[in-house]
Structure 1
């Protein structure tokens, strides 16, 4: 066997030739990167001007008032920089920013640090790829800082790029002699804390300023979106974090684009600290409606919180069309409070709601909240579950399970909703008498898929029953060829009306109602309510008497004798 070799990682000579792929040479990237370089050098101001250069034509001039360059080679060495030791420790700069100019014709005039001479570099579009040499002259010139002049491409919006780069920058920027507006990245935050060189701002979802953010992290003027945790509550506002990095080399950006953050151990620590901030805010607030699992997360992070507020929404039945659901106000729990376990179908919740209203116990029944399972107060609540329905005709009583349906029969003497009430390990039967039950499978949406049962003494009117059918079964279809919502609702209620009349009366009355409905919709709107019209249909002939008089009255003309 041969002796072992010692190998070292290195950068391929061809890597430099691909430098134009590291950045897209956009005006946004160039100004952002040059601004970062200026700030790191110690500059306290930057001026950006659009000029007409004798060599480059339409050009952009970027000037800073920093100390200049100690060695121009550091500007042209990919991955190298001559930042101070403190800057290296605080930010972990990569030495790639100047290469954002790759593919552009540029000129650099930089003060030779600590002298009254200047470096002048003429950089061809392919020079930063290593294809052609770059000439660097040293001239006697009292220059301040670094000036970069580069060719402007057609349709580039320099003002927009400057505003974006300067908006959250730490140093002021002048654009064609005018200051560019800057603002605090955490403006409008409900709470701000500093942690390991990072300002952490917490926004609530109702804070208007939060919704202005298109990112959640500011790295010295470069904004991006990083994976920061948020905290939701069941009945209260949610919390979201936004960070403003001040001096923290441990939070690193993915190179070379610097558009994402490195998923390292420090990021995990940051995410946990943000959660601690959320939980501390809630502890100071005193009341919350956290999910039980989040309550336990707070405990694991060393923050003891009170249980979530013992408030629930009073039971309100689901509708077949979810957009029609009614959400009640949060209420404190009564001594006899119980939780309705819910039902698979809206029709069963509607049946239960009508029966519950007849018992007078409606104020004691609350909607379930699975997020609270685990809190002692919630787990102690009795749970009411509907299991079936009972029909009594004379002395005979028949029980049907939820989802089952009886054959079409005569109107029953009595109707019952049956169920069980479980409190801990104790289970007790529960029942409530009602006057109306609509039997249907869980996925039923059509009138003919349901069986209506109504007691003879029910006070329900035609309109009550049509409304009940609609709440329990009507689920609009959103296919393009299904008709508008209003049209679908009209078709459904028309059919429901016919079914209700057939159930309560006769088929003849259904037909009479259908004719009347057509006349009211298609003819009534053009006539006065005082019209006296007779319609006679014989075979295929239709004869209408009084129509001419009605139209004359509608037009305000005197009726003829």
Structure 2
């Protein structure tokens, strides 16, 4: 076979034989495509009705648009036949009618140029075969009527599907004569801006977080990644947008299903406009808590905003089981502040013991918010840059921090001194001067790379004033982290067991083995015995290895 001199693009007839595979064929897709065609035809209303005939169910879609002038264009895959304005603004692909492929369909429509109506039946198998279909005289005087023989699965939830299709559609739709509710796609938007041939609505909570269908293309809601901007955590503001397409010819949907927006220069410009709208909405508030990077981005987009509201949350020492163990954040009162970076739980709990000691007592300890770094007020605050500990025991000194572990053969117990060393710097200036502070604390729990009391090392000073109950809470907060495997006890059971062990260990370190044994017995009695004793009665328990005797005390 000789080679051709030239080649060109074309659509093979084989594509027609695969027409039934272009769309999913579900009722929602078909209804959307037929309603879109009616809208483009200039319809002012759409009626959807159900009927039964000879045990079969039919779905009828009727519009009062201009009708289909050329019936030959109806089944011409890839040929839309729409006028210049529609072709320019929406780029229809001429594929929507093929969403009905594989269904038996009767179509009637009025041809304005012929001055009469026509009708045709398309059997289910004809969509893929290319078989010629005979036209007959139609009986309608305007618009288009499409009747579809419904499969059984279409009848499931059809009313709710029609309601969903109608909700943001630009034309009124009735279902069996009942007008379906409609609402503006941007309803409840806090701020609406027109840009790029679209209406952009700004919301202070994402209304589409579940499904992501943030763009309304003339009633067809499609997924698209659009800007969302959260403010720093002490603010509940989380900004998102919806976009209602009005006349945006360069925004195209991915064919054939048209459920996603194609990435393009126009879409990127639309995202910029959406982000700009968010910043303008933010600027309408009395103040904001945008991250510094977002604040800079607003300026790049031409939106001048004041700096974020000053203020930080009071520092809450991290716990090993942080989702259960920390108190809710509260804003620190006005005054001198010292930023505490994110710490490991054992280091945070030890630092908490130094809060009421010089020099920390002169500051409000506040939580670091790195997204705010860059604002002048934030960069002017001092921050704890490094934390380490010195443990003095039996004439030796040991160092501990989040990168330095203690010797494996070292044992928990009483130490002579425990000192926390802090290096403080100014947060926003690499060349800022550093100051070093040493503060004595009465106890220290060192995870030493582990998460349980067998691996941890626990120290306390004899005259530091810490009580077993306080040390027990410190051990618990530093080390306890629940295990959520399916075969494990509940969080409450795990927590209570660890709490008992922590109290036992704290008592042993501070008061000795005998006191720890008595404390363990006391806690077990509270857990298992006290609730058995009748009101206003007392019991005497004599217990030893050989047995236990119990008797009521006489009044």
Asked if Structure 1 and Structure 2 have the same fold, meaning a TM-score greater than 0.5 normalized by the shorter chain, the answer is yes
CA contact under 8 A between 1:198 and 1:244: conserved in structure 2?
A: yes
Range with greater deviation from structure 2 (65-74 or 351-360):
351-360
Other-structure match for 1:329 = 330
CA deviation string 1:19-66 (max 9, x = no partner): 101112221111111111111101111111111246x93211111111
Q: How many Å separate the matches in 2 of 1:505 and 1:74? A: 94
Other-structure match for 2:5 = 5
Q: How many Å separate the matches in 1 of 2:225 and 2:262? A: 10
Is 1:512 the counterpart of 2:518? The answer is yes
- The change in CA–CA distance for 1:538 and 1:74 in structure 2 (over 3 A counts) is closer
Q: How many Å separate the matches in 2 of 1:123 and 1:408? A: 87
Q: How many Å separate the matches in 2 of 1:40 and 1:283? A: 39
CA deviation string 1:227-279 (max 9, x = no partner): 21112221431211111112222111111111111111100110111111122
- The change in CA–CA distance for 1:460 and 1:18 in structure 2 (over 3 A counts) is same
Question: Offset of 1:312 from its aligned partner?
Answer: 1.3
Q: Paired residue for 1:492, among 491, 495, 498?
A: 498
Is 1:45 the counterpart of 2:52? The answer is no
Q: How many Å separate the matches in 2 of 1:79 and 1:53? A: 34
CA contact under 8 A between 2:68 and 2:111: conserved in structure 1?
A: yes
Other-structure match for 1:166 = 166
Other-structure match for 2:294 = 294
Give the number of equivalent residue pairs: 539
SS of the residue 1:107 aligns to: strand
Q: How many Å separate the matches in 2 of 1:58 and 1:4? A: 52
- The change in CA–CA distance for 1:68 and 1:3 in structure 2 (over 3 A counts) is closer
CA deviation string 1:434-489 (max 9, x = no partner): 22222332x33212333333333333332212111111111111122232111211
Q: How many Å separate the matches in 2 of 1:90 and 1:469? A: 67
Question: Offset of 1:304 from its aligned partner?
Answer: 3.0
Q: How many Å separate the matches in 1 of 2:241 and 2:471? A: 51
CA contact under 8 A between 1:286 and 1:306: conserved in structure 2?
A: no
| Unaligned stretches of 5+ residues in structure 1 | 551-558
Other-structure match for 1:221 = 219
CA contact under 8 A between 1:386 and 1:417: conserved in structure 2?
A: no
Question: Offset of 1:104 from its aligned partner?
Answer: 0.6
CA contact under 8 A between 1:172 and 1:180: conserved in structure 2?
A: yes
Question: Offset of 1:376 from its aligned partner?
Answer: 3.0
Other-structure match for 1:501 = 507
Other-structure match for 2:482 = 476
Q: What are the within-5 Å matches in structure 2 for residues 131-280 of structure 1?
A: 131-139=130-138, 141=139, 143-155=141-153, 156-157=155-156, 158-205=158-205, 215-235=213-233, 236=235, 237-280=237-280
- The change in CA–CA distance for 1:329 and 1:51 in structure 2 (over 3 A counts) is same
CA contact under 8 A between 1:116 and 1:142: conserved in structure 2?
A: no
SS of the residue 1:68 aligns to: coil
Is 1:467 the counterpart of 2:473? The answer is yes
Is 1:92 the counterpart of 2:87? The answer is no
Is 1:429 the counterpart of 2:432? The answer is no
TM-score (norm 1): 0.89
CA contact under 8 A between 2:189 and 2:202: conserved in structure 1?
A: yes
Is 1:532 the counterpart of 2:539? The answer is yes
Q: How many Å separate the matches in 1 of 2:504 and 2:21? A: 70
Q: What are the within-5 Å matches in structure 2 for residues 18-37 of structure 1?
A: 18-37=18-37
Q: How many Å separate the matches in 1 of 2:85 and 2:548? A: 100
SS of the residue 2:348 aligns to: helix
Q: How many Å separate the matches in 2 of 1:516 and 1:410? A: 22
Question: Offset of 1:397 from its aligned partner?
Answer: 7.5
Question: Offset of 1:96 from its aligned partner?
Answer: 1.2
CA contact under 8 A between 2:412 and 2:509: conserved in structure 1?
A: no
- The change in CA–CA distance for 1:317 and 1:545 in structure 2 (over 3 A counts) is closer
CA deviation string 1:355-385 (max 9, x = no partner): 1223362643222111122233323322223
CA deviation string 1:279-328 (max 9, x = no partner): 22233335222222222222322333322222211222111111122343
CA contact under 8 A between 2:190 and 2:281: conserved in structure 1?
A: no
Other-structure match for 2:384 = 384
- The change in CA–CA distance for 1:15 and 1:211 in structure 2 (over 3 A counts) is closer
Q: How many Å separate the matches in 2 of 1:24 and 1:213? A: 19
Query: What is the RMSD computed on CA atoms of the aligned residues?
Result: 2.6
Q: What are the within-5 Å matches in structure 2 for residues 384-463 of structure 1?
A: 384-391=384-391, 398=397, 400-402=399-401, 403-405=404-406, 407-408=410-411, 411-423=414-426, 424-441=431-448, 443-463=449-469
Other-structure match for 1:556 = none
| Unaligned stretches of 5+ residues in structure 2 | none
Question: Offset of 1:212 from its aligned partner?
Answer: 8.1
CA contact under 8 A between 2:473 and 2:503: conserved in structure 1?
A: no
CA deviation string 1:201-225 (max 9, x = no partner): 11111x7x56687511111111111
Other-structure match for 1:126 = 125
CA contact under 8 A between 1:123 and 1:134: conserved in structure 2?
A: yes
CA contact under 8 A between 1:110 and 1:145: conserved in structure 2?
A: yes
TM-score (norm 2): 0.90
Question: Offset of 1:95 from its aligned partner?
Answer: 1.4
